[in-house]
Structure 1
Amino acid sequence: SLDNNAAFIRSDVDFHRVLAEIPGNPIFMAIHVALLDWLIAARPTVTDQALHEHNNVSYQQHIAIVDAIRRHDPDEADRALQSHLNSVSATWHAFGQTTNKKK
């Protein structure tokens, strides 16, 4: 749910777990599990509005990834996944800059 951050985090974690399971390579799952707690703890503290906007963008990007997978289009799935990862990285960096300026 975009309006419930705790629920969104749970669904986000589940989504990424499913993606890690798709190739059937246990290394992907091991990486997912190893990074999970760190990634959740590393989420920057931001306003509710900024968080809602970020979650909405992530949700839309997740839909694009799933749609590409359903169409069996690995190139588009790769592009959608790279776009999502780049977006999340840029957003977290921007959130971190905002948080650091407030300190």
Structure 2
Amino acid sequence: MLAAPSYSSKLGAYNDNSYARAQSDSSVGIDYMFVSCSAYYPSGSFIGSDNNSNPSGTKVLALSATVEAPDLFDFQVGSADSQHVYRTAGYNEVRHFLIWPE
């Protein structure tokens, strides 16, 4: 009997908080995987968002989405949120929602 897939969803800010990155990983190839990342300045104003999904008919083990803080005078991400969706044949869809910092 095959083991059920396991999923790992991560969200954090890196390089002195100059960008936020959401990462989705699976223990098996997934029919459909989606990841989105939205980032905000410490003031709460919106920086931007990015999303990624695998092309139809392909299986993936990992995807990521990255948002950089482009303003030279306010280059730090203050908070971020992400959504992770995993869908594969024979298993219920799994969704993870993360907020950084926790």
Q: Which category describes the TM-score, using the shorter chain as reference length?
A: under 0.3
Task: Say which structure, 1 or 2, has more relative contact order (CA 8 Å, 6+ apart).
Answer: 2
* TM-score (structure 1 length as normaliser): 0.25
Task: Considering fraction of residues, name the structure with more strand.
Answer: 2
Task: Considering fraction of residues, name the structure with more helix.
Answer: 1
* TM-score (structure 2 length as normaliser): 0.25
